[in-house]
Structure 1
Amino acid sequence: MDPKDPFSAVLFDGSVSSHIGRQQNACPSVIVIGGGISGIAAARILHDASFKVILLESRDRLGGRIHTDYSFGCPVDMGASWLHGVCNENPLAPLIRRLGLTLYRTSGDDSVLYDHDLESFALFDTDGCQVSQKIVVEVGDTFTKILKETEKVRNEHTDDMSVSQAISVVMDRHPELRQNGLAHEVLQWYICRMEAWFAADADVISLKNWDQEHVLSGGHGLMVQGYDPIIKALAKDIDVRLNHRVIKILNVSNKVMVTIEDGRNFIADAAIITVPHGILKAKLIEFVPQLPEWKVAAISDLGVGNENKVALRFEKVFWPNVELLGIVAPNSFACGYFLNLHKATGHPVLVYMAAGRFAYDLEKLTNDAAVNFVMLQLKKMLPDATEPVQYLVSRWGTDLNSLGCYSLDLVGKPGDIYERLRAPLGNLFFGGEAVSMDHQGSVHGAYSAGVMAAGNCQQHLLQKLGNLETLQHAYLMEEVLEAATVPLQISRM
């Protein structure tokens, strides 16, 4: 044993690591860290390319920030729930078609509410009086004008600022755009919906970047059966190890050694890291050698938003047949929003959604207290609301497996941040929604980032190890999926 070789006597999955001295023509080995859709996509690509792949996931389930819960007797997505871009260009479209999954379209392109249209809604003030649709539409038009004016503010300033600051500048310049009374409260609700899209408050959202994301065409569709079928299909036959929390990654001697919480080590030719960005920001994984400063700075400079859901199942439907119910208030923090799953799925379920600082405040409450708060909001709108028979509460911000929902462009973010985030380091490759420059924060962005990381890792190892014969199997699954000709199943009830 060479004491200078850290791999010479290390256990690999319970057996002596004699594989280190294997023949050059053996299958390349890769450890994928993180069992969200990005990690599963990476593992799928490499598995189909005849690589030896093992996927380590800290949770007791796959999916990561995708979590379809079935305890209501029907699928309820407590994490990601929309397909952003209901079109054939969406990289998930072939798999959705093949699995025969149904989408419920909640908006077309360019909706002022992002993932909803102003076609099926009911807004109420804090006294429980319904706001007329005329006021809602008029204020929506004003909100669109305000956002358009912020573009001029952006063009006039070389330094970045928050969206909130820019709106204040616009209001000072154009007092005719100011809203008063009920109209002001409706405007705050629009801002609340904008904050929900970014999972952050307007005072931390970058004016420079807020509208630069490339959103696919086709509008937005809820996954009626949830995202879980996609996770299961991608993970089929993959060597998955649940409850394996990675705490250290050693990247030396042309090998990668990954240490999990109980002290066991796993060794491979390379590793793909797809853990949530919040985990990297919190430095919960030790890297040896330490990550270079440019990588650390990129991780630090990208924010993480937070959005939580309180799902309520009722004995029967007592609310109007609209897609969303909302409460308007004097400030966006106090506004509220319920998604009506009954309209989309036929099940008597309402989902309350809270974003930004409000989402963190909600996590300070017990589950019972959170449900009580949400029911108070519901009863302001609908005084005859009955008590739920079941409930679910998410806590993405304080969950040590995620520490947030999805990445966020903070004010002053450097222009090359995504290039630095996804740049490989030796035998380490990086995936996850946060490295997707054009589609961050989306499921298809996370999926594409995993595919990209797998492709880069594959090319790197094949060049290094000379195993070019494995290349022919590389994208077998994608070819099968692309062959699917069944159209996307889209409903709008």
Structure 2
Amino acid sequence: MKPSSAIVLVLAAIVAQYPSPATAADPKVIVVGASMSGISAGKRLSEAGITDFVILEATDRIGGRIQNTEFAGVNVEMGANWVEGVNGDEMNPIWTMANGTGGLNLTTFRSDFDHLASNTYKQDGGLYEKKFVEKIIKRMAEVEESGSKLASTLHHSGQQDMSVMSMQRLTNHMPTGPSTPVAMVLDYYRHDFEFGEPPRMTSLQNTQPLPTFRDFGHDLYFVADQRGYESVVHHVAGQYLETDPDSGAIVDHRLKLNTVVREIAYFPSGVAVRTEDDMVYRADYVIVSASLGVLQTDLIRFKPQLPSWKIAPIYQFDMAVYTKIFLKFPRRFWPEGPGTEFFLYASGRRGYYPVWQQLEKQYPGSNVLLVTVTDDESRRIEQQSDNQTMAEAVEVLRKMFPGNEVPEATEILVPRWWSNRFFKGTFSNWPIGVSRYEFDLIRAPVGRVYFTGEHTSEKYNGYVHGAYLAGIDSADILINCAKKKMCKYNVQGKHDQRLATVSE
């Protein structure tokens, strides 16, 4: 079908705003963002013989939401921290790179969550009886097993999907879901701690069973290497970007840091990308690896505006916020030894400083605790001072350990992913009602504009391995068009087997 005259006029007006279309001196592809997915996409393009590209990164580093920083004398991870999905039937590609066989041999520790029943603290101090907590954990596991069976019976279209909380109500005959402090914190650990959002917002059909654990295994390994988890991203980048032989730093001219993309114009002959310093880069294609949270803002403007079929699923999907707060103390006052790494605080206020981890195994002698909050608590904490957050956290610890002299914390680290305009959250979460159809639309290209990121991963959204695999998948879609002239992208119909072509 020929475009309408109105569309032709709009495209003509857009083209007129930019210099001449792409020439032989211009790159063939622009990659927006040097996150894991953007770096992975660049590698796949290189493997296919497309080496004339540039990577435009808004920050001063590569890695995106994989970032380490110095705290209390050690390097800690502000973003992604675990390789999730290990020791299963399939090999997690991130674990292949991290555990030695890929050459990095990162320092990692298997996380042991098996002793939470012995480490769940009451709101006003003291431990719950182990058998009491075990009974609740057992019942929750039974509910989840029933939920997985129920999810397998639901139609693939998503028409019958429900929230995890709705499943809990159906299965456990509870009108409001877990409601006591101990039940709430265990529920938080099983759901919010994994997905960044509460069960009332999370899709049952697309999280039970969770493909990451089903495919790669249920073990999680905490990365505590002083080179940082982001060394995995550097490992991928180093396979095709030029690096300094002495320092290992990337010196490839195709990677441009501190380059903030504000506008992407696309037309039949190519694309034009305008940056915040008013530079214009032209190419045949662009791959956008910005986070879902950024796509939900106006940081990057598209000209013409993205079509409604593209915008709608972007806003239907959720960008979760997951905040890891590190606290340094002058001495240890918490239980140590085997079976004490993780402990829970059962507040009557759901999600209030709930999941704690002592890091003596990972960072010996550091006297550092890690507490995780999510969702509304993350947003609240990001908007208050670090001193206020430190006071709240220490007050919780004093309630948990009333017989101990809990000292004041000496340092605190509070990441602010939600407030950062280059991220606007930590990872995507699949909400109720979003089916594979909407997910495919998020990944689908619009003309010469392609999209990648963990939020476009077919099965592993929200995970580092999802970002890595998404970069490969999205690059392959572009390669099919650029090299094989296979430029139509088909999406399975939402309610039946029909295919719809959304781009050509």
Tell me the distance in 2 between the aligned counterparts of 1:174 and 1:270. Answer: 52
TM-score when normalising by structure 1: 0.81
| Aligned-partner residue type, residue 78 of structure 1 | M
Q: Distance in 1 between matches of 2:117 and 2:198?
A: 25
Q: In the alignment, what sits opposite 1:480?
A: none
Q: CA deviation at 1:411?
A: 1.8
Q: How does 1:156-167 map to 2 (within 5 A)?
A: 159-167=160-168
- Match of 1:483? none
- Report the AA paired with residue 393 of structure 1: V
> Which of 107, 110, 114 pairs up with 1:102?
107
Q: What letter corresponds to residue 369 of structure 2 in structure 1?
A: L
Question: Tell me, what secondary structure is at the counterpart of 1:20?
Answer: coil
Which deviations, in whole Å up to 9, do the C-alpha atoms of 1:36-94 show, x marking residues without a partner? 11111112333454512211122232221111112432221111101011246111233
Deviating more after overlay: 91-100 vs 294-303: 91-100
3-state SS of the aligned residue for 2:22? helix
- Does residue 52 (structure 1) correspond to residue 52 (structure 2)? The answer is yes
Give unmatched runs, 5+ long, in structure 2: 1-10, 243-251, 487-504
CA contact (8 A) 1:311 1:393 kept: yes
Q: Is the 8 A contact 1:41 1:451 kept in 2?
A: yes
- Kept in 1: contact 2:386–2:414 (CA 8 A): yes
Report the alpha carbon displacement of residue 172 of structure 1 after superposing the two structures with TM. 3.1
Paired residues for 1:55-94 under 5 Å: 55-87=55-87, 89-94=91-96
The answer as to 2:344 corresponding to 1:343 is no
Output aligned runs, 1:8-407, within 5 Å.
20-22=22-24, 29-47=28-46, 49=49, 51-87=51-87, 89-96=91-98, 97=100, 98-107=103-112, 116-118=113-115, 122-150=119-147, 159-172=160-173, 184-193=180-189, 194-215=191-212, 216-217=216-217, 219-225=219-225, 226-236=228-238, 237=242, 238=252, 239-321=254-336, 322-334=340-352, 336-346=354-364, 347-382=366-401, 383-407=404-428
Between the aligned partners of 2:268 and 2:331, the Cα distance in structure 1 is 62
Q: Does 1:427 align with 2:448?
A: yes
- Tell me the CA shift for residue 219 of structure 1: 1.1
Distance 2:361 2:440 in 1: 41
| Equivalent residue letter for 1:172 | H
Give the CA RMSD over aligned residues.
Answer: 3.0
For 1:142-177, what per-residue CA distance to the aligned partner results, in whole angstroms no more than 9, with x for missing partners? 1112333445776699643322233234443799xx
Q: TM-score, normalised by structure 2?
A: 0.80
Name the CA distance, whole Å, in 1 between partners of 2:32 and 2:358. 35
Amino acid at match of 2:104: L
Equivalent-residue separation in structure 1 for 2:462 and 2:440 (angstroms): 16
Count of aligned residue pairs for this structure pair: 441
For the 8 Å contact 2:185–2:345, the answer to whether it is kept is yes
Q: 1:149 to 1:173 in 2, by over 3 A?
A: farther
Pairwise CA distance, 1:133: 2.4
* Distance (Å, rounded) in 1 between the aligned partners of 2:398 and 2:296: 39
Question: By how many angstroms is 1:454 displaced?
Answer: 2.0
Alpha-carbon distance between aligned partners in 2 of 1:401 and 1:173, rounded to the nearest angstrom: 41
Question: Which one of the candidate residues 431, 434, 439 is aligned to 1:410?
Answer: 431
**Structure 1 residues 369 and 51: CA distance shift in structure 2, 3 A:** same
> What's the offset of the Cα at 1:449?
0.5
Confirm or deny: 8 A CA contact 2:163 2:204 kept in the other structure. yes
1:223–1:120 distance in 2 versus 1, CA, 3 Å:
farther
Contact 1:305 1:356 survives alignment (8 Å): yes
Cα distance change of structure 1 residues 86 and 172 upon mapping to structure 2, 3 Å threshold: closer
User: Residues 152, 436 of structure 1: CA spacing in aligned structure 2 closer, same or farther, 3 A cutoff?
Assistant: closer
Equivalent residue letter for 2:395: L
Shift of 1:255: 1.5
Work out which structure has the larger RCO, using CA pairs closer than 8 Å and 6 or more positions apart in sequence: 1
Aligned-pair distance for 1:460?
A: 2.4
SS of residue matched to 1:256: strand
Q: What amino acid sits opposite 1:29 in the alignment?
A: K
Q: How far apart in 1 are the matches of 2:384 and 2:17? A: 48
Question: Where do 5+ consecutive residues of structure 1 fail to align?
Answer: 12-16, 108-115, 466-493
| CA drift at 1:345 | 3.4
Instruction: Indicate if the aligned counterparts of 1:191 and 1:332 stay in contact, CA closer than 8 A.
Output: no
CA shift in 2, pair 1:94/1:254, >3 Å = farther
Distance 1:218 1:143 in 2: 17
How far is the alpha carbon of 1:293 from its aligned partner?
Answer: 1.7
How far off is 1:283 after superposition? Answer: 3.6
Cα distance change of structure 1 residues 292 and 156 upon mapping to structure 2, 3 Å threshold: closer
1:137/1:429 CA distance change after superposition, 3 Å:
same
Q: Distance in 1 between matches of 2:84 and 2:375?
A: 20
